[in-house]
Chain A
């Protein structure tokens, strides 16, 4: 009897030890604010490849191939060369890293994002390329991602996660065979709660690595003579929640914006004195837009395809502000036509966390057509649609009257008229489009539409 009690107590004590030794140091590490001056060197020279790391490397190489094969990589040579040029200018001269081959690519995805694979592949989405204002901001993003590769963050995180998963599994095994007693109940509770804490520490570790990438990224920017304060600007841009989809979770793998701005400002310290003048930034913005204009237009199409209509309007408006030519006017018209009865901007109430969660649930349930039908049943939805169809029509007509008009403007106008029930006008515009673009990929689709409209 005494031995049994002793055994149970020992199991309980063992459980507590495992939890506190594994969770404790990491959990505490999250709270401490390391002095920003003590950042490690850009390269993790102590890192030695193990079998597990080589597996991760192999998976990364295969992922590269898959992105390309699946048509997710943007095949725009000029834009990719531009991206690559910026990326290479940030890599310290003469730096060679074992099993890293630098590649910079654009991913066809309207969601603003960037990530690095440990093999040296850096991906920036078209959504992010379109959202940012200038080359320095792009450099800030790449510098952050380069640090993840140089400091071997993916490998380190993978190693850390594996240890935590193993601990979690051992805990559940212990928990499932806990003795049926008061001590057993304690063990069960401890082993049930421990995996949740363990998950939290995974995110905590990830946040530490993100912080390191932010700080080392600044060093890389300064070395390449990019104004480092643009990293803060790009973070503010990323915080712009046009679609109301940034739902705050209890744990996040990136530090909060306020926290990032705080430690970055502190790290920049005296160096923040080199503030780029507005005129210089304006010039840089113009050059950046010029370089990535085709990418931006491509991204507006992707945004519309993905139902990110508010982003499409926002981004297309930026293009028209930059240069109101026929093609840019066409894209803004497309954005307004597809925005339909939605409001162009979300209200403050719609941007609250609970409203965003509700909207996310609705997005999972309703199709785009159902969403539009529901909105059109409301007075606000009808008013929005009235305004947007007028704007779209006006913009299509402006695009057609501008220099080098785009034939696709006729198609857009036809689609608008079709939706408004103006069948004859729609047929005329569709026909003009077909006549001007006889070999377009959507010829069959348009011919069927003409046929359908004539039949009705």
Chain B
């Protein structure tokens, strides 16, 4: 094949770049709106009044010209912040109260309790790829974590459990400049949030809001993203 045949394609590069950016922006804004509700929640047969937020697992990396670098401390901080903001958003927008999560210490006597929470988190991690393959099936009540959820022995009036996962990246100065000049994925945070019935394990809501920008500093934008992320969740007084 004559390589000069490729030249017209190369000339279209700026146009392709602009179209890709437009497409990504559209997809991202659609994702922010993507929330999937279980029919029982949609029909208000089930109302979520009290939730327990399990420890979030949010990982961010620093992307530099020399590759990705771990940010364990910042990830911990961000995980705690996401948990806190979710509780605040749910209370303010939906009048949903957050109950204390199972208290786990690292003493040997508490090991079984700690394993229980850890195993349930792992179970959600195993279900998550299946949900993400077909998120809209949450509306068909396809996903459940089973009645093992009762083994967490949460407070009696807990209606649901919130699982939070997230991944994001922050760009260094050099990488930001590189992304602007050459292209590439900008800084972002993608959350995957599942609300699970505390009595039978059914996945009641799944939402995966995306935040564009440095996830470690965007506090207010995180709040707004989460407000949009829970937009479809029925408020308590709407009953």
In the assembled complex, how far is the CB of residue A178 from the closest CB belonging to chain B, in whole angstroms? 8
Q: How far is the CA of A108 from the CA of B142 in the complex (A)?
A: 29
Task: Pick from A55, A70, A445: contact of B118, CB below 8 A.
Answer: A70
Q: Is B112 an interface residue (CB 8 A)?
A: yes
A367 touches B127 (CB 8 A): yes
B67 touches A59 (CB 8 A): no
A71 touches B130 (CB 8 A): no
Task: Pick from A69, A71, A108, A165: contact of B66, CB below 8 A.
Answer: A165
Q: Mark B150-173, 1 if CB is under 8 A from A, else 0.
A: 110100000000000000000000
A449 touches B6 (CB 8 A): no
Q: How far is the CA of A305 from the CA of B122 in the complex (A)?
A: 9
Q: A108-B118, A164-B67, A185-B7 are in contact. List 11 more A-B contacts (CB 8 A).
A: A71-B115, A72-B118, A173-B178, A181-B7, A182-B4, A186-B3, A189-B3, A367-B142, A367-B143, A448-B150, A449-B147
A448 touches B147 (CB 8 A): yes
- Inside 8 A of B126's CB, which chain A residues have their CB? 306-307
| B interface residues, how many (CB within 8 angstroms) | 49
- Inside 8 A of A71's CB, which chain B residues have their CB? 104, 111, 114-115, 117-119
B182 touches A172 (CB 8 A): yes
Task: Pick from A55, A163, A306: contact of B122, CB below 8 A.
Answer: A306
- Inside 8 A of B115's CB, which chain A residues have their CB? 71, 108
Which B residues form the contact surface with A (CB < 8 A)? 3-4, 6-7, 10-11, 13, 55, 57, 65-67, 69-70, 72-73, 76, 104, 106, 108, 111-112, 114-119, 121-123, 126-127, 129-130, 133-134, 142-144, 147-148, 150-151, 153, 178, 181-183
- Inside 8 A of A172's CB, which chain B residues have their CB? 182
Q: Mark A4-39, 1 if CB is under 8 A from B, else 0.
A: 000000000000000000000000000000000000
- Inside 8 A of A69's CB, which chain B residues have their CB? 106
- Inside 8 A of A93's CB, which chain B residues have their CB? none
- Inside 8 A of A68's CB, which chain B residues have their CB? 106
B66 touches A166 (CB 8 A): yes
Residue of A nearest to B72 (CB): A62
- Inside 8 A of A72's CB, which chain B residues have their CB? 118
Q: How far is the CA of A184 from the CA of B13 in the complex (A)?
A: 13
Task: Pick from B123, B130, B178: contact of A364, CB below 8 A.
Answer: B130
A165-B147 CB under 8 A given contacts A70-B121, A306-B122, A444-B153:
no
Task: Pick from A166, A182, A307: contact of B65, CB below 8 A.
Answer: A166
B178 touches A365 (CB 8 A): no
- Inside 8 A of B11's CB, which chain A residues have their CB? 180
A305-B153 CB under 8 A given contacts A59-B72, A166-B66, A180-B10:
no
A169 touches B178 (CB 8 A): yes
Q: How far is the CA of A343 from the CA of B117 in the complex (A)?
A: 31
The 4 tightest CB contacts between A and B, nearest first, are: A71-B118, A165-B67, A62-B72, A162-B66
In the assembled complex, how far is the CB of residue B216 from the closest CB belonging to chain A, in whole angstroms? 15
- Inside 8 A of B178's CB, which chain A residues have their CB? 169, 173
In the assembled complex, how far is the CB of residue A251 from the closest CB belonging to chain B, in whole angstroms? 17
Q: Is A286 an interface residue (CB 8 A)?
A: no
Q: How far is the CA of A287 from the CA of B138 in the complex (A)?
A: 50
- Inside 8 A of A75's CB, which chain B residues have their CB? 106, 108, 111, 114
Most buried by B among A302, A367, A449: A367
